[in-house]
Amino acid sequence: MRTIDVASRSFSVVRVVRVVRVGSALVLGGLVLGACNLPGFGADRGATTQGHSTFHLFQFFAILSIPVLLSVFVPLVYAILRFKRRGDEIPKQTHSHIPIEIVYTVVPIIIIVVLFVFTVRVENKVTAVSAHPNLRVDVTAYQWGWKFYYPSLGITEYTEGNHYPDLVLPENETTTVRLVSSDVVHGFYIPAFDFSRYALPGVTNYFDFTPNQVGSFIGRCSQLCGLYHSEMLFHVSVDTPAGFNAWASSHSSNSKGA
Amino acid sequence: MAVIDDTVTEHVVPHHAEEPSGFYRWLTSTDHKVIGKNYLYTSLAFFFIAGLMAVLIRTQLFSPNNHFVSPQTYNELFTIHGSMMLYLFAGPFAFGGVANYIIPLQIGAPDMAFPRLNSLSYWLFLTGGITMLLGFLTASGAAAFGWVAYAPLSEATNSPGAGPDLWIVSVALVGFSGIFTAVNLVTTIMYLRAPGLTMFRMPIFTWNMLVTGILILISFPVLTAALILLYADRHFGTHIFTVAGGGVPVLWQNLFWFFGHPEVYILALPYFGMVTEVIPVFSRKPVFGYKGLVFATLAIAGLSTGVWAHHMFTTGTVLLPFFSALSLLIAVPTGIKIYTWVATMWKGSLDFKTPLTFSIGFIVAFTMGGITGVMLAAPPIDFYTHDTYFVVAHFHQVLFGSAVLAGFAGLYYWYPKLTGRMYREGLGKLHFWLIFIGFNVTFLPQYVVGLRGMPRRIAEYAASDGFTFLNRVSTVGAYITAIGFLVFIWNMWISWRRPIPAGDNPWDGHTLEWGTSSPPPSHNFHSLPPIRSQRPVWDANHPEHADYLRPPEPSRFSSRRDEAVVDR
Amino acid sequence: MEFVTQALATKKTPREPITFNRPSILGVGTIVWLGSEFMFFGGLFAAYFTIRAHDGTPWPPRGIHLDVVQSGIFTLILVMSSVTMQKGVFEAEHGRKTAAKWWIILTMIMGLSFVANQAVEWSKNAFGPQTNAYGSLFYMMTGIHGLHVILGILAMGFLLVRMAGRGRDPGELSALQSVSYYWHFVDVVWIALYSVLFLLH
Ligand code: HEA
Ligand code: HEA
Ligand code: CUA
Ligand SMILES: [Cu+2]
């Protein structure tokens, strides 16, 4: 194990960083293995590899918040029950107690550092953009609809009246989305992927999806964009690579909303 | 009524004849107490109006595909609900109302530093508030772009008409009012403290208002600048926030949140201050860890100017780890405060009067809301929950927790001081339980519905979305809350019509405002008790337990500077 | 921090009888308020630099020419007007009211000439606020600053009216000092604006 050569080194910052890294990797590994059996606290489990890491991060935060909540509520409830005013005598006038003050400052700092380390790890994973994606989709948001363009296939899907366009993605393959807006700010949001990103006028955004389960999901606009913001929906269909190819060849001829 | 007045007030002051009596004199008064009360009444009125809008919002969301209001009206409703709650209620209630009234009393000053500026602030605020409401009367309707007014949705092409202009003018006016009040507060606290009241003897509420004032001075002007630029874009054809012509839409978000995030602490710190006054008094103990609290307040203020982009994680244009780290860090000083309050209650002699009950409700709500805030500070989790009801639940827990639960704790606490009368304790408790239950029933389901993917600011959802049940629960909660406020109004009414005299110091208060009559005479004090610690009135009433008797604590944090706190 | 006590402690023994040696409450209030003004202009500068950073093309855009020398001269005049203003304060502090008033009038004239020059330059410019984002920023920033200069001149006008009487109005001096703080501030902002808009390319 790596821990052995770490232990043989003299104490240094490097070593501390190592220990934190190895330790957090172990904890994260353990969590990832065990987490699927833990409760999801109402969160979506994330139908992409990226979204699934987000889900685990959420679980981790939720679990850690239980002892934090208890650290406030237990003494609070105890105080409410135990220290009710009984008579007129004046309680001891305590102004401070330095050890306790240090504990309730330092322990949260430690928790925060741990949370931050995990956050950065997941964040790097979720925001990574593959240099060689299997597929590219150009998404344009506008009031109040979406246009999905597959440059390699020549397929275009867009909102037409009450018809919501379909974003078709192959399972277990990495798709890079290129996101722009042609008017105001919109939010490209797929709840089942545990992910959203702004479509900002003047800014081009890239991000990856690697869906890991076949199914159809709903996509929404999350950022207020005017009158029909609530109706700016789309469908997401994740298909097997074979199914995706079949869809692609049947659509590349008539590139329109189905 | 069973209000125990167990303190012997030293001197009974005859009720002052010099107080303005006529309606006109009341309107034109520059007495901070009159202006403070005006602020309180006005901001509470705005709270009720904005609350009523919330009830309409919830009614619309009661059923899927509901047509109770049109999408346009819905967008106007939440825009004005949010704007009114933040700009016209939560802020002005705290620093225009409570602070204006209480700060000069707490520091033993006869009035604010600039009484006429104070009066101007109030009139700017009132004008601004009316301006915002006038939007509903225009042909195009009120502003409908959310309280954050993201460009380019707020530009003339996407939001034409006078309603949005009125919103801009209104927020600018209220902003000026806030800046003037902040100038007044900061100057008053720095300049007009009574002899003996050193910085480290100031009550925590005063400390928090000083820091809030500084935060206002830092953040509001940036909003004013942004509003002026937006107005120019709309009317003078400039290209600051439009892509055409080379402007940058995301600049609006940066400017807005540079204001907007400190703003949420501007709305929290005063309320932290209020509960820090209430909890010690009703625990009959000094506040625990005074210096830690001061330090935490300063740390929160410092950090809060560097975290604005946590509202912009999903823009893809910000440095995620930096803003995430600073946002997470705010949990530490805020946690210090929470633990300090609990420690103050520890081994105290808790008297569960309405103010303390509300303060405990605040701690519960705020801790939960704060912890979900910490989740949002993790960019991946924010990608998932941004602009969903998860965020709505987060900020209502902290905002309702501060501005309403802690705010009403403060209101009940100082009500006898303001009026000389006592509210009805039973009705106060009923008010608490109704709104505490109602509020949790409203907002806890919103966390779940947010995680299930319900975006904010949607006028309608479909039956197939699976949001219906939780929304129904939430709506019922809002109705319960509304009933709670009717109880409050009844309480105020009955206490006004059938007054019960409260006495000058009904709570055995600690700080200087309890050392004068209720309500105070027009120049606040006929005589001041000697100020030799943080609790001059307590010292005077309990000489055997006086703070200045205690030996300087031997800690490595207290340097020579602290010994100056103990009087020579 | 302990403003009151400190100010009292640092009381000097001056050679001449100075009527004033402790920051007046109005002065403190003015300085606090100028803090907010600082943030206000900070917001404008932030807007400028953000837009500049987002702009891929040369900055300022082609076809925009500014007269660096002419505005440089008037920048100098504005800077000098801070000196004359301060001179007025010193005179007033020593009780020489008439001299103080003349220094204020001189300051007003210098301020007015600055505003007049700005108007001339605006009319000469080949670009307007609607031309592009650069133009928008240029006019908004110089315009808002110009408004501050005009406000300062108005305030000096009020000061003169207030100082017209023969009697010794104790508030008069602190009002003068406060206006001088404001004037110095407006001046410093202009130096920053001039450097950013005219010199930095
Ligand atoms: C009173 C107002 C208030 C307060 C105090 C807070 C407090 C916090 N807020 Fe909140 N927030 C808002 C009002 C407020 N917020 C509003 C209005 C919005 C939405 C704006 C809009 O878009 O319309 C928002 C949105 C918002 C977002 C953006 C969400 C999004 O739009 O996607 C984020 C992200 O980081 C965030 C984070 C935080 C954090 C980390 C805190 C922290 O300060 C919380 C700290 C407190 C605690 C953590 C609890 C007590 C601490 C302990 C018991 C110690 C131990 C704890 C740990 C070790 C975790 N808030
Ligand atoms: C201090 C701040 C504050 C407070 C206290 C509240 C209080 C409430 N809020 Fe608010 N809310 C915001 C600040 C606040 N809100 C903000 C900033 C937004 C975002 C806006 C945006 O998206 O841009 C928002 C958005 C918001 C939404 C989301 C809308 C959307 O995204 O589509 C919802 C939905 O449920 C909601 C509900 C409520 C409810 C039910 C209450 C209740 O707790 C209200 C309780 C109060 C009452 C019910 C008053 C009752 C009074 C009477 C009955 C007396 C009447 C008598 C007379 C007039 C004489 N709010
Ligand atoms: Cu597009 Cu909301
Ligand atoms: Cu924030």
Tens digits of residue pLDDT in C112-144: 999 999 999 999 888 889 988 999 999 999 999
The residue among A202 and C16 whose pLDDT is bigger is A202
Task: Estimate to the nearest angstrom the gap between the alpha carbon of B501 and the chain centroid.
Answer: 28
Atom of ligand 1 nearest to the CA of B332: 54
Confidence of residue B21 (pLDDT cuts 50, 70, 90): low
In a domain, C5, yes or no: no
Mean pLDDT confidence for A203-227 = 95
Name the domain boundary from A69, A103, A127.
A127
Quick one: A179 and A240 in the same domain? yes
Asked if C106 is an interface residue toward chain B (Cβ–Cβ < 8 A), one would say no
Domain total in chain C: 1
CATH number of the domain at A177, please: 2.60.40.420
In a domain, C17, yes or no: no
The percent of residues above 90 in pLDDT, for chain C, comes to: 61
Domain total in chain A: 2
Of A73, A185, A228, the CB nearest to B249: A185
Whether A139 lines ligand 3, by a CB cut-off of 6 Å, is no
Tens digits of residue pLDDT in B349-366: 999 999 999 999 999 999
pLDDT at C56 over 80: no
Which of these ranges, A129-133, B232-236, B317-321, C53-57, has the smallest mean pLDDT? C53-57
Mean pLDDT confidence for B205-215 = 97
pLDDT at C23: 78
pLDDT at B22: 67
Q: What is the DSSP string of chain C?
A: --HHHHHHHT----SS--S--S--HHHHHHHHHHHHHHHHHHHHHHHHHHHHHH--S-SSPTT----HHHHHHHHHHHHHHHHHHHHHHHHHHTT-HHHHHHHHHHHHHHHHHHHHHHHHHHHH-S--TTT-HHHHHHHHHHHHHHHHHHHHHHHHHHHHHHT-SSS--HHHHHHHHHHHHHHHHHHHHHHHHIIIIII--
pLDDT at B5 over 90: no
The residue among A134 and C20 whose pLDDT is bigger is A134
The residue among A4 and B141 whose pLDDT is bigger is B141
Look at residue A236 and give its three-state secondary structure. Answer: strand
Chains that touch A (3 or more CB pairs under 8 A): B
Alpha-carbon span A118 to A172, nearest angstrom = 25
The residue among A55 and A27 whose pLDDT is bigger is A55
Residue of C nearest to B249 (CA): C51
Q: Classify the phi-psi angles of B503: left when phi > 0, otherwise alpha if psi is within -120 to 50, otherwise beta.
A: left
Give chain B's mean pLDDT. Answer: 91
Asked if B390 is an interface residue toward chain A (Cβ–Cβ < 8 A), one would say no
Domain with C50 in it:
25-56+67-199
pLDDT at A90: 87
Which of these ranges, A250-254, B229-233, B487-491, has the smallest mean pLDDT? A250-254
The percent of residues above 70 in pLDDT, for chain C, comes to: 87
Confidence of residue B546 (pLDDT cuts 50, 70, 90): confident
pLDDT at A27: 56
Counting ligands in written order, the one closest to the CA of B86 is 2
Q: Which residues contact B293 (CB under 8 A, 6 or more apart)?
A: B204, B207, B276, B287, B336, B337, B340
Nearest CA to B392 among B311, B435, B312, B456?
Answer: B456
Q: Are B533 and B547 in contact (CB under 8 A)?
A: yes
Tens digits of residue pLDDT in B101-111: 999 999 999 99
Mean pLDDT confidence for A10-30 = 51
Counting ligands in written order, the one closest to the CA of B266 is 1
Tens digits of residue pLDDT in B68-94: 999 999 999 999 999 999 999 999 999
Q: Are B380 and A57 in contact (CB under 8 A)?
A: yes
Residue identifier of the C-alpha nearest atom 8 of ligand 1: B373
pLDDT at A159 over 60: yes
pLDDT at B253 over 70: yes
Which of these ranges, A31-40, B163-172, B348-357, C59-68, has the smallest mean pLDDT? A31-40
First to last CA, chain A: 56
Residue of A nearest to B340 (CA): A101
Asked if C55 is an interface residue toward chain B (Cβ–Cβ < 8 A), one would say yes
Confidence of residue C103 (pLDDT cuts 50, 70, 90): very high
pLDDT at C29 over 70: yes
Confidence of residue A15 (pLDDT cuts 50, 70, 90): very low
The reported pTM is 0.91
Cα distances (angstroms) measured from residue B285 to each of A82, A91, B344, B546, B568: 16, 7, 7, 11, 24
Long-range contacts of B51-59 (CB under 8 A, 24+ apart): B51/B481, B51/B482, B51/B485, B53/B77, B53/B78, B53/B80, B53/B81, B53/B84, B54/B81, B54/B478, B55/B478, B55/B479, B55/B482, B57/B81, B58/B442, B58/B474, B58/B475, B58/B478, B58/B479, B59/B475
pLDDT at B6 over 50: no
pLDDT at B316: 92
Tens digits of residue pLDDT in B312-332: 999 999 999 999 999 999 999
Quick one: A197 and A152 in the same domain? yes
Quick one: A67 and A163 in the same domain? no
Quick one: A112 and A18 in the same domain? yes
pLDDT at C20 over 60: no
Of C36, C44, C46, the CB nearest to B217: C36
Place of tokens 């059923």: B63
Which of C3, C24, C33, C151 has the most B C-beta neighbours within 10 Å, making it the best mutation to test the interface with B?
A: C33
pLDDT at B465: 92
Burial (CB count within 10 angstroms: exposed 0-12, middle 13-18, buried 19+), residue B17 = exposed
Confidence of residue B564 (pLDDT cuts 50, 70, 90): very low
In a domain, C7, yes or no: no
The percent of residues above 70 in pLDDT, for chain A, comes to: 83
Confidence of residue C7 (pLDDT cuts 50, 70, 90): very low
pLDDT at B552: 60
Residue of B nearest to C29 (CA): B187
Quick one: A160 and A106 in the same domain? no
Distance from CA of C127 to the nearest CA of B (A): 12
Sequence spans of domains, chain B? 29-567
In a domain, A34, yes or no: yes
Alpha-carbon span B250 to B258, nearest angstrom = 12
pLDDT at B549: 81
Mean pLDDT confidence for B43-66 = 96
Q: Are C136 and B247 in contact (CB under 8 A)?
A: yes
Domain with A81 in it:
2-85+95-127
In a domain, C10, yes or no: no
Indicate the helix (H) or strand (E) that contains B79: helix B71-83
Alpha-carbon span C23 to C181, nearest angstrom = 12
Alpha-carbon span B372 to A128, nearest angstrom = 25
CATH number of the domain at A57, please: 1.10.287
Atom of ligand 2 nearest to the CA of B477: 40
pLDDT at B17: 42
Mean pLDDT confidence for B135-150 = 94
Tens digits of residue pLDDT in A46-55: 999 999 999 9
Tens digits of residue pLDDT in B333-342: 999 999 999 9
Mean pLDDT confidence for B223-245 = 94
- A210 is written with which tokens? 């690697």
Quick one: A19 and A81 in the same domain? yes
Atom of ligand 1 nearest to the CA of B147: 23
Quick one: A16 and A110 in the same domain? yes
Residue identifier of the C-alpha nearest atom 11 of ligand 1: B395
Alpha-carbon span A10 to A115, nearest angstrom = 27
A94:B292 CB<8 A? no
pLDDT at B560: 43
Quick one: A157 and A231 in the same domain? yes
In a domain, A56, yes or no: yes
Tell me the residue type at B173: L
Q: Residue B173 half-sphere exposure, CB side, CA atoms within 13 Å?
A: 19
Of B226, B239, B254, the CB nearest to C133: B239
Tell me the CATH number for domain B29-567: 1.20.210.10
Tens digits of residue pLDDT in B441-452: 999 999 999 999
pLDDT at B19 over 60: no
In a domain, C11, yes or no: no
pLDDT at B433 over 90: yes
Residue identifier of the C-alpha nearest atom 38 of ligand 1: B373
Q: Are A50 and A130 in contact (CB under 8 A)?
A: no
pLDDT at A86: 86
Quick one: A115 and A214 in the same domain? no
Tens digits of residue pLDDT in B384-418: 999 999 999 999 999 999 999 999 999 999 999 99
The percent of residues above 70 in pLDDT, for chain B, comes to: 93
CATH number of the domain at C166, please: 1.20.120.80
ipTM value > 0.85 = yes
pLDDT at A251: 82
Confidence of residue A35 (pLDDT cuts 50, 70, 90): low
Alpha-carbon span B332 to B244, nearest angstrom = 44
Torsion angle of C-alpha atoms B460, B465, B466, B469, degrees rounded to 10: 0
Q: Which residues of B touch A28 (CB under 8 A)?
A: none
Torsion angle of C-alpha atoms B174, B179, B181, B182, degrees rounded to 10: 140
C43:B251 CB<8 A? no
pLDDT at A178: 96
Nearest CA to B511 among B493, B529, B538?
Answer: B538
Going from the Cα of B497 to the center of ligand 2, the distance in angstroms, rounded, reads 30
Quick one: A70 and A107 in the same domain? yes
pLDDT at C58: 77
Cα distances (angstroms) measured from residue A77 to each of A66, A81, A82, B44, B284: 16, 6, 8, 31, 18
pLDDT at B66 over 90: yes
Chain A / chain B CB contacts < 8 angstroms? 265
Residue of C nearest to B245 (CA): C132
Surrounding ion ligand 4 within 5 Å at CB are B 261
Atom of ligand 2 nearest to the CA of B479: 48
Give chain A's mean pLDDT. Answer: 86
Going from the Cα of B371 to the center of ligand 1, the distance in angstroms, rounded, reads 8
Distance from CA of C186 to the nearest CA of B (A): 16
Mean pLDDT confidence for B5-14 = 35
Which of these ranges, B3-7, B226-230, C127-131, C191-195, has the smallest mean pLDDT? B3-7
Confidence of residue C3 (pLDDT cuts 50, 70, 90): very low
- What's B501's DSSP letter? B
Mean pLDDT confidence for C103-112 = 96
Counting ligands in written order, the one closest to the CA of B50 is 2
Look at residue B21 and give its three-state secondary structure. Answer: coil
Name the domain boundary from A103, A127, A151.
A127
Whether B141 lines ligand 1, by a CB cut-off of 6 Å, is no
